[in-house]
Structure 1
């Protein structure tokens, strides 16, 4: 039987974290990369996006952790512990963390990524109007910019198509102007 079928049976066809039953998939809990029934959970897309920090945490979505944290399966326990830690500023999450007990091996697994040391805030690339930017978006410059190390001057109103987000800096994107790839600060552009 495939791992997904085993997880569907184990979870009764619902998310093992929030109990929703649509748009479900197998998620292997880091730092493991080999998908096994012991290292994987069955989760909905909303949980997955927030776990992987592709979307901001929505604390009300995670209220069912109060029940799912008691799962008999270590992979579910690890994710519940990590997510409760990311929301520890919420009173209900802090209370659940105080009650949750993980054996030494499971706690060690939960701490391995260091995710519990961060808060739930996720930063995204945003333009001057706080509109979220994505790879391949089109943006417009809101200020004339002189490009360092070049004679190129990017004029106010210049359209930059097919941008790429700089992975380790949410204040920067890459784009081509006059055939030259340059780094542009997000505070000087708006989504087109």
Structure 2
């Protein structure tokens, strides 16, 4: 039986991430040494285009489907749900789902593998002075930032402690006024 047929049988001919039945294709979850159904998922055209997106623009409402698919018993589906939630973790709901998600150690290692997010390793995250930033660093805002959806402005000079890096080297995450926000790395200075 072909990989595609095996996947269709496994998931009832529905996208394993969102449940759509239209335009399904096999997506190999990197890294894949030898293609097989255990390292692949069946996805719709919309999910595949978003997975392969390099511009960082995602249809966040579409990905709310991960609330269901993250509980799949199939490791490849778990890995894809985890990776997409990591890309969307600036959204409060996605961060909440990530906090709830449980992965076995080997599946977590697969999900975190650099080959799955090769774009991350290419460029370092730099502050306004071109100093490299690392997870856990402390930074200071160098300009006032209006925080969309939280109804406050993060003032220049505000310290952001223990930042997190994102998959986009132009962004960092940190807590300001108790709210986790995404900050453009060019708007901060390392302490």
Range class of TM-score, shorter chain: 0.5 to 0.7
Partner SS for 2:89: coil
Structure 1 stretches of at least 4 aligned residues deviating more than 2 Å after TM superposition: 113-117
CA gap of 1:119–1:90, structure 2 versus 1, over 3 A, is farther
| Larger proportion of helix | 2
Q: Cα offset for 1:120?
A: 11
Q: TM-score, normalised by structure 1?
A: 0.59
1:23 match: 23
2:63 alignment counterpart = 62
Aligned to 1:43: 43
Deviations 1:78-127 (A, max 9, x none): 00000001000111111100000001100000011363840499xxxxxx
State the match for 1:118 in structure 2.
167
Contact persistence 1:87–1:120 (CA under 8 A): no
Select the structure of larger CA radius of gyration: 1
Aligned 8 A contact 1:57 1:120 in 2 = no
SS at match of 1:59: coil
Inter-partner Cα distance in structure 1 for 2:24 and 2:112? 25
Task: Tell me the TM-score normalised to structure 2 length.
Answer: 0.59
Partner of 1:53: 53
What is the root-mean-square deviation in Å for CA atoms of aligned residues? 2.0
- Unaligned runs of 5+ residues in structure 1 are 122-192
Q: Shift of the alpha carbon at 1:34?
A: 2.3
